[in-house]
Structure 1
Amino acid sequence: MSYKASKEAFVTGMTGSSIAHINLVSSVALASIFLYYALQTRKLISNKSLVFASIVLALPLLLCMTLFAMHPIALFLLFAVPAMLICLTMEKKESRAMLPSSATVPTFAASGTMERKLKITQLPALTTYRAHMLLMTMFAILAVDFPVFPREMVKCETFGVSLMDIGVGSFVFSSGVVSAIPIIKNPSHLTAPMIPKVITVIRKCLPIISLGVIRVLLVKGTEYPEHETEYGTHWNFFITLALLPVMQVLLHPLLARVSVTGLGVVVALAQQYILLSPNGLDLRSYVLDVPRDRTNFISANKEGIVSLTGYFAIHLLGLATGTLILPPSPSYFRRAQKTLNRRLSSQKQAGNGKKVLKRRDNSDSESDSESGNSDNEAEAMRLAAPRQNDKTAAELCAYAVVWWVLTGIFGYINSNGAVNVVERKSWGVSRRLVNLPYIFWICAYNVSFILGYLLLDMLFYPVQERKQKKTKASPPASPTLTTFQPLSPSASVNPRPSSPLSSLHPVSPTPRPVSPLLPPRSPSFRPSSPTWPDHSHHSVGPRSGSSSISYNVEDIPPPLLEAINKNGLLLFLVANLLTGVVNLSIQTMYASDTFSMIILCGYGWTICALAWWGRRRKIVQL
């Protein structure tokens, strides 16, 4: 047997591990953040040390999937116990720096209509979650080729759960989370003209599509070992990742009117139906049971094509999570959605209504104007408030419980209700099919870990407020407006723009802010893309009329993780190139554990060093 065939067999036919084991392995990431924050808040370490950050934040992720993969509790305690002792025996050392508010700044246009541009304040927990997810993915794509990486964690052939199975789903979920940024900043983009948005989002996704095409050419040209039953002959994960934003734009008219979570669940149910329907397509049998004679493009790439709808459901449910955690309040997008629907209904009624007296017309117009101004003022005041992390955590907890209950129900059906192989194939978790149990598992896992990172942030970096007596003569607490204040028509406010592509696609300031309550402006649409946004400007602000005791903005999230998040696309590309170089240079499947760890540690250090070098710059501008 050739080495290529042996290598393909080395990662083929796996049945995976258990959900509990995967959760324990992943919890090491939370323990590492726990220890880092404990040391940082006691000023025992400097956040400017790359060596220390790599040891505390990156090395545990490598160890949990290699040497300690079968003993994750021991590794968890190795980091959690010292962190607990530090918290119990040493006091925090706070830096008393007043941080800017997370408010948006309402302004008046020359016409007197209130407009505003929302600057979304970064949630540090999201940066930590995305960076850790990316690090674990980059470590796993090389570690899987070494025997030190347990076969239980390799992607399952058809049914089952593993650490690498959770990785691809988490990537899609994460891209959905950040794709919420444009529609939070301006929900009216959901009703903007469709064709310009589709063209724009395709243009933004061309780099990802190019990576997918280049990967196919390199794999075929170098006879690199590949696993065709994962996505197909020509399809790969880059292609899937690039198509999801386009599919999301096509559903914008629905997203403007219905629950995003509800729509995601409907798409997930549709995926399960087309997989299992005996009177319908029954794509499960087509993917799994039909002989693998890949005679045309569709049959050659049936795994990637069939799984696309399931990944889209995960993307939508990630989008729903983004609408909860990105705004200052988890209820912001729901309220903005209702306001947008009210405006659309009014426009429809005005277009279909009969002619009435001019006096009646003027009266209705004044009433609508007053109602619109009232809505605008209410929105501005809600967005001027600081982050309500407690409410965000409560909603995330509720969603996590729901997703885990649904995952448990399918697990019970698969373990106890499935009386034969056919039923087991119907209800078992399958990344290859991206079926309903897999979708719910991905949502449960990711929402839970985002919640975990958020709770750690709230524990170590709370914003404490002291009430102050309000006087009419007292000046504002900060130059940022934290309450609704009318400005003169000539007032000019130009807040720093924020975009889901801000790390790779800088956005030039628009001449006027955009309101979700005003008619859409498609030329300014900035679509989402499966890239990593720049979250380098974090703030936790006090309420109006109060002062705050908080931490320096550079303390959270850890600079190394922020750097990884900032240039994630480049780092992921470098990781794939390094993986190819290593596999073409040595026969990894025969390497000893010691040699494997030397290679993997050097690989991990290279990634961290590159991220650290580019932490103050956007290395790639697309």
Structure 2
Amino acid sequence: MEKDYKQLKMQHVSGLTGSSLFDVNSVSLAMPLTILLWSVIQSRMRLFTPYTSAACFVDFLLNCGVTLVATTLYSSSPWLLNLLLLLPAAFLYISSPPMPIRPTAPRPPTKASDARKTSPDPLPMKPFITHYRGSMMVITCIAILAVDFRVFPRRFAKVENWGTSLMDMGVGSFVFTNGVVSVRSSLKTPSGKLPPLSMRLVASMRHATPLLILGIIRLISVKGLDYAEHVTEYGVHWNFFFTLGFLPPFVALFQSAFALVPSYAVLSYVLAAFYELALDKTNLGAFILTAQRTDLISKNREGIFSFFGYLAIFLAGQSLGSFALPRQSPPPKNASKATLIRQSILGRLVISAFLWTALFYLSVSYYGFGLGVSRRLANLPYFLWVCSFNSYQIAICCAIETVLFPNLYKAATREEEKQRCRDATSTVLFSFNRNGLVVFLLANLLTGLVNMTMPTLHMSVFQSMGILLGYIAAVAGVAVALDRLNVSIKL
């Protein structure tokens, strides 16, 4: 009986072809629209300041509950849900004036040594980055368990070979958003000078080691518990933690090439293009898709070779982070309105989204390269799709912040600016972002626990939604509790 059920679960996630780009965009639009509604409520009503139990409940319903129903109950009518989010946000924005900024307690006069604390932070907290990374973590945590229930549509699950789906985008977005914030350390170095390669490799291994250990633990537990797994996803032994773990040292190596190609975006595209040439002009593509699993490399070929695509995605995320994370530089005198828009962070995000999207359609168009998207290969079209999707989603989040919180970065002191940014950030999303990998690990553990103890495929819609709601509430509860205790666990 157990073998029959394991086979049923394997069939549940095998041979899938995904859905259209419009479908993925329509469903995922609920995330920025939820951020819009939260931001309008906060800017007009200050509902989440102070952060009471009632405020936490509303925060959870908006930023976790909406994402859950968007991918389950409203999956067949995403635009109805989008309207249900957009209309109240528009009504509240039009009908209510913005609330005044919460004053900060006056501080005693500072000493000269405290000047750094009062001067503007060159790398301030950016609520729109936190919001997007947090919402991406929420939908990732929901999807990894929801995919095991029938209430989660098959078209959202990862495709077998060619096609696009919500979960295919989720994997790439997880890597992209990690790349966005990883560039912070290099932005802190004076005049952009890189430390020696040996130092970069040692530092990268400190980040890589915990992830590789998690990958080994997951491998042992999956094999030891005879857990149902889809081999064509990453291979027999490889898993996503290995992909994440090998990224830091390889990024450290590629930083040396930055002296030759002083653009993360160009560097990422060159890497993805060369990988695509190897797939198309050699037997590599056929080997990954059809070879027999006879040795260690062939058994894990999907994870090993798709790593090059994920490395390119990570570098592209660093490209976006390199101009989105620093403080907005003051505009030049007598600059035209077009120049001001083009040089603003929002303007650069929009231009970046447009360029990645144009390159993506060139790669898949009949009049372009005519390539197909493959998450299994992590090929050039998949790389460009991930870059395009994340760039325009982050641009939407930035536009929301720019319109609804225009005075975030005009505070007199760092402390006041930090308080303003914290007030403009959802605590639930901040908490998911703050301890992202720990939350992701917890979600994986709970997913395994649910699948080992419950026949998820045989559950009704009501039972499925109850378990999923309890699960994401538990994950969110741990995340918020860690934030309330001011605990940051970095892996």
Same-fold status (TM-score > 0.5): yes
1:574 aligns with 2:442: yes
Decide which of 39, 60, 72 is 1:37's aligned counterpart. Answer: 39
Partner SS, residue 376 of structure 2? coil
Identify the residue that residue 408 of structure 1 maps to in structure 2.
361
How far is 1:619 from its partner? 5.3
1:19 aligns with 2:32: no
How far is 1:192 from its partner? 2.2
Identify the residue that residue 51 of structure 1 maps to in structure 2.
57
1:168 aligns with 2:167: no
How far is 1:453 from its partner? 0.5
Any residues of structure 2 matched to 1:121-520 within 5 Å, and which?
A: 121-186=124-189, 191-257=194-260, 258-277=262-281, 281-290=282-291, 292=292, 294-329=293-328, 391-413=344-366, 427-463=371-407, 478=412
| Per-residue CA distance 1:460-512 (angstroms, 9 max, x = gap) | 1112999xxxxxxxxxx9567xxxxxxxxxxxxxxxxxxxxxxxxxxxxxxxx
Check conservation: 2:172, 2:310, Cα contact below 8 A: yes
1:97 aligns with 2:99: no
Distance 1:562 1:388, change over 3 A: farther
Check conservation: 2:205, 2:249, Cα contact below 8 A: yes
Matched AA of 1:539 = E
How far is 1:36 from its partner? 1.3
* Larger CA deviation: 188-197 vs 17-26: 188-197
1:539 aligns with 2:483: no
Q: Distance between the aligned counterparts of 1:448 and 1:313, measured in 2?
A: 18
Distance 1:192 1:612, change over 3 A: closer
Any residues of structure 2 matched to 1:586-605 within 5 Å, and which?
A: 586-605=454-473
How far is 1:38 from its partner? 1.7
Identify the residue that residue 28 of structure 1 maps to in structure 2.
30
Matched AA of 1:261 = A
How far is 1:570 from its partner? 1.5
| Per-residue CA distance 1:317-370 (angstroms, 9 max, x = gap) | 1111110101114799xxxxxxxxxxxxxxxxxxxxxxxxxxxxxxxxxxxxxx
Q: Distance between the aligned counterparts of 1:30 and 1:203, measured in 2?
A: 34
Q: Distance between the aligned counterparts of 1:264 and 1:153, measured in 2?
A: 27
Q: Distance between the aligned counterparts of 1:465 and 1:615, measured in 2?
A: 23
Check conservation: 1:314, 1:439, Cα contact below 8 A: yes
Check conservation: 1:122, 1:538, Cα contact below 8 A: no
Matched AA of 1:43 = M
Matched AA of 2:152 = F
Partner SS, residue 615 of structure 1? helix
Q: Distance between the aligned counterparts of 2:330 and 2:152, measured in 1?
A: 43
Matched AA of 2:10 = E
Check conservation: 2:435, 2:489, Cα contact below 8 A: yes
Q: Distance between the aligned counterparts of 1:120 and 1:191, measured in 2?
A: 18
Matched AA of 1:408 = Y
How far is 1:180 from its partner? 0.7
Q: Distance between the aligned counterparts of 1:587 and 1:316, measured in 2?
A: 40
Q: Distance between the aligned counterparts of 1:328 and 1:395, measured in 2?
A: 13
Q: Distance between the aligned counterparts of 2:230 and 2:194, measured in 1?
A: 41
How far is 1:141 from its partner? 0.2
1:67 aligns with 2:20: no
| Per-residue CA distance 1:218-271 (angstroms, 9 max, x = gap) | 000000000111111111111011111111111222213422211111001011
Q: Distance between the aligned counterparts of 1:436 and 1:99, measured in 2?
A: 52
Identify the residue that residue 487 of structure 2 maps to in structure 1.
618
Distance 1:592 1:428, change over 3 A: same
Distance 1:217 1:88, change over 3 A: same
Check conservation: 2:409, 2:417, Cα contact below 8 A: no
Q: Distance between the aligned counterparts of 2:143 and 2:408, measured in 1?
A: 40
Matched AA of 2:280 = L
How far is 1:409 from its partner? 2.5
Matched AA of 1:319 = Q
Q: Distance between the aligned counterparts of 1:99 and 1:244, measured in 2?
A: 43
Identify the residue that residue 336 of structure 2 maps to in structure 1.
none
Partner SS, residue 24 of structure 1? helix
Partner SS, residue 251 of structure 1? helix
Partner SS, residue 42 of structure 1? helix
Distance 1:2 1:139, change over 3 A: same
Q: Distance between the aligned counterparts of 2:13 and 2:105, measured in 1?
A: 50
Structure 1 residue runs of 5 or longer lacking an equivalent are 101-105, 108-115, 333-377, 379-386, 467-476, 481-536, 541-550
Partner SS, residue 29 of structure 2? helix
Partner SS, residue 148 of structure 1? coil
Bigger proportion of residues as helix: 2
Decide which of 398, 407, 425 is 1:557's aligned counterpart. Answer: 425
| Per-residue CA distance 1:2-23 (angstroms, 9 max, x = gap) | 1111101100000000111111
1:606 aligns with 2:474: yes
How far is 1:63 from its partner? 0.7
Identify the residue that residue 4 of structure 2 maps to in structure 1.
2
Q: Distance between the aligned counterparts of 1:611 and 1:229, measured in 2?
A: 32
Matched AA of 1:9 = Q
> Aligned pairs, how many?
466
Identify the residue that residue 365 of structure 1 maps to in structure 2.
none
| Per-residue CA distance 1:76-123 (angstroms, 9 max, x = gap) | 1111111111111122212253799xxxxx99xxxxxxxx99751111
Matched AA of 2:150 = P
Distance 1:450 1:78, change over 3 A: same
Q: Distance between the aligned counterparts of 1:538 and 1:131, measured in 2?
A: 23
Check conservation: 1:121, 1:538, Cα contact below 8 A: no
Partner SS, residue 210 of structure 1? helix
Check conservation: 1:99, 1:539, Cα contact below 8 A: no
How far is 1:46 from its partner? 3.0
Distance 1:193 1:99, change over 3 A: farther
Structure 2 residue runs of 5 or longer lacking an equivalent are 107-111, 114-118, 333-339
Check conservation: 2:18, 2:155, Cα contact below 8 A: yes
How far is 1:191 from its partner? 3.5
Task: Report the RMSD for the aligned CA atoms in angstroms.
Answer: 2.8
Q: Distance between the aligned counterparts of 1:388 and 1:328, measured in 2?
A: 15
Q: Distance between the aligned counterparts of 1:464 and 1:233, measured in 2?
A: 49
Distance 1:556 1:200, change over 3 A: same
Q: Distance between the aligned counterparts of 1:464 and 1:3, measured in 2?
A: 53
Matched AA of 1:77 = L
| Per-residue CA distance 1:570-603 (angstroms, 9 max, x = gap) | 2111111110110011111111111100000001
Q: Distance between the aligned counterparts of 1:236 and 1:331, measured in 2?
A: 45
How far is 1:168 from its partner? 0.6
How far is 1:200 from its partner? 2.3
Identify the residue that residue 337 of structure 2 maps to in structure 1.
none
* TM norm structure 1: 0.71
Identify the residue that residue 87 of structure 2 maps to in structure 1.
81
